[in-house]
């Protein structure tokens, strides 16, 4: 049975965590994520969950505590944002390499400095090589749905990797939205029991995790992680489709929007894809410009093959990046271009929205027009441009 509720992004992730009812959650507050754990702590205090809630002294400790709990056989979650994620850095890699299926909503926010608490993707983009699966959410509904699916994806025996559920700070975290939720039992049936037979508390089959591995073994462990990421592609798709059967909201690695006949397509992540869809509709209607949008839901593992397929007949592709890889350009752009190396048409990169700067419908429209002009002139220059920077 489903119920329509009005929830913010933080509420929706917290509500999903409540329904998941993890064994252990360890967390430390950081804006704009604070509200999420605030809400979850209330579920703990009210006895709505059976979770052991550990209040720690930093994000480094939060991640360390959930790694320990996960290795002891517990289903574990935490949440963070921006500099909090940065403080977890060391343990992010350890969580992935110890194959801990931790689920972590990350409220995307700019990294300091200058100090800025608003939305961009600098935080999770920096963590893209840590070995975590990354799902990006367009709206609060997706934040809720992704959090529930993340449990299944993370714990899948072919995967067993931690998952970040990314949602845009303030734009989603603090914005009320009407969304559809499942009842607790439906969620419980969907996620099932977590079983990790080889855990630290199984004294009959004692195991050591994350111990020393030198030149003779380290590389094989890393290849195992790489293999698990490859396996995750089919698992993310399979679980997304199963979730669709259950709720009527199917999920895939990518979501193409009006791409079939499009002359220009914008590729991107998160809430901006909602803006881009609206701009595409408007421009099609008002200017006859055939615009499409390709939303990347799953950024790690990177769905290169599926992306090439979705873009194969598109004459002009633009990629929106809400982060900079300094000295290179936008990280998403470079990955999309690299994936399309063998079949690439011209592409342009638009960096936008850092530190929460709004990308308006007009801005999105202008990006589509820039692509259209480049398509007509055959000159996709400059390769990287910055939307709305005063210079």
Partner 1 sequence: MAELLKKDQMKPGAVAEGGTMAGLYTGSWRTYCPVTDFEKCTHCMLCWIVCPDSAVRVEGGKKLGTDYQYCKGCGICAVECPADAIEMKLESDLSEQRKEGEQP
Residue 204 in contact with partner 1, rule: CB under 8 A:
no
- Among residues 3, 46, 57, 220, which is the contact residue for partner 1, using CB under 8 A? 220
Residue 279 φ/ψ region, left for φ over 0, alpha for ψ in the -120 to 50 degree band, beta for the rest: alpha
**H/E run at residue 97:** helix 82-97
Q: Which residue's CB is nearer to partner 1, number 198 or number 305?
A: 198
Instruction: Name the one range near partner 1 by CB under 8 A: 170-178, 201-209, 301-309, 332-340.
Output: 201-209
Q: Which residue's CB is nearer to partner 1, number 184 or number 207?
A: 207
Number of residues interacting with partner 1: please give it, by CB under 8 A: 23
Asked if 143 contacts 165 with a C-beta cutoff of 8 angstroms, the reply is yes
Residue 215 in contact with partner 1, rule: CB under 8 A:
no
Cα of first residue to Cα of last residue in the chain, in angstroms, is 53
Q: Which residue's CB is nearer to partner 1, number 128 or number 160?
A: 160
- The interface with partner 1 within residues 227-266 (CB under 8 A) comprises 227-228
Q: How far is the CB of 211 from partner 1 (least distance, A)?
A: 4
* Exposure string for 128-162, b = 16+ CB within 10 A, e = fewer: bebbbbbbbbbbbbbbbbbbbbbbbbbbbeebbbb
Q: How far is the CB of 88 from partner 1 (least distance, A)?
A: 18
Residue 208 in contact with partner 1, rule: CB under 8 A:
yes
Question: How far apart, in whole angstroms, are the C-alpha atoms of residue 63 and residue 339?
Answer: 32
Residue 304 in contact with partner 1, rule: CB under 8 A:
no
Q: What is the dihedral of CA 101, 104, 109, 113, to 10 degrees?
A: -60
Q: Which residue's CB is nearer to partner 1, number 203 or number 211?
A: 211
Q: What residues does 54 pair with on adjacent strands?
A: 26
Residue 223 in contact with partner 1, rule: CB under 8 A:
yes
Q: How far is the CB of 206 from partner 1 (least distance, A)?
A: 10
Residue 73 in contact with partner 1, rule: CB under 8 A:
no
Q: Which residue's CB is nearer to partner 1, number 194 or number 209?
A: 209
Instruction: Name the one range near partner 1 by CB under 8 A: 148-156, 212-220, 230-238, 365-373.
Output: 212-220
Other CB atoms within 10 Å distance of the CB of residue 264: 25
Q: How far is the CB of 277 from partner 1 (least distance, A)?
A: 39
Residue 160 in contact with partner 1, rule: CB under 8 A:
yes
Q: How far is the CB of 62 from partner 1 (least distance, A)?
A: 20
3-state secondary structure 236-279: HHHHHHHHHHHHCCCCCCEEEECCCCCCEEEEECCCHHHHHHHH
């Amino acid at each position: 049975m489903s119920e329509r509720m009005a929830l913010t992004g933080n509420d929706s992730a917290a509500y999903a965590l409540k329904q998941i009812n993890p064994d252990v959650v360890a967390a430390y507050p950081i804006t704009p994520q604070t509200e999420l754990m605030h809400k979850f702590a209330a579920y703990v205090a009210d006895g709505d969950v059976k979770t052991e809630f550990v209040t720690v002294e930093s994000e480094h400790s939060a991640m360390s505590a959930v790694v320990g709990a996960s290795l002891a056989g517990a289903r574990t979650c935490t949440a963070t944002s921006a500099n909090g994620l940065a403080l977890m850095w060391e343990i992010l890699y350890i969580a992935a390499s110890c194959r801990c299926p931790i689920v972590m909503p990350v409220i995307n926010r700019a990294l300091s400095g200058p100090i800025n608490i608003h939305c961009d993707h600098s935080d999770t983009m920096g963590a893209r090589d840590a070995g975590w699966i990354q799902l990006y959410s367009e709206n609060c509904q997706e934040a809720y749905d992704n959090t529930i699916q993340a449990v299944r994806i993370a714990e899948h025996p072919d995967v067993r990797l931690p998952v970040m559920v990314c949602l845009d700070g303030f734009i989603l975290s603090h914005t009320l939205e009407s969304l559809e939720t499942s009842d607790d039992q439906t969620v419980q049936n969907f996620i099932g029991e977590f079983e990790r037979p080889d855990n630290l508390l199984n004294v009959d089959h004692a195991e050591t995790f994350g111990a020393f591995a030198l030149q003779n073994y380290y590389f094989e462990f890393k290849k195992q992680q790489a293999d698990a990421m490859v396996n995750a592609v089919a698992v993310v798709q399979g679980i997304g489709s199963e979730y669709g059967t259950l709720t009527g909201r199917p999920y895939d690695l990518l979501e193409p929007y009006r791409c079939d006949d499009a002359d220009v397509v914008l590729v991107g992540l998160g809430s901006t894809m909602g803006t881009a869809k609206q701009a595409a509709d408007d421009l099609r209607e008002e200017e006859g410009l055939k615009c499409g949008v390709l939303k990347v839901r799953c950024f790690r593992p990177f769905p290169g093959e599926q992306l090439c397929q979705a873009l194969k007949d598109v004459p002009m592709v633009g990629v929106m990046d809400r982060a900079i890889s300094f000295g290179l350009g936008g990280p998403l752009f470079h990955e999309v271009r690299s994936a399309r190396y063998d079949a690439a048409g011209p592409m342009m990169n638009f960096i936008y929205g850092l530190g929460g700067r709004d990308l308006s419908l007009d801005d999105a429209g202008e990006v589509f027009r820039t692509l259209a002009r480049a398509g007509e002139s055959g000159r996709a220059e400059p390769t990287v441009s910055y939307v709305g920077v005063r210079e």
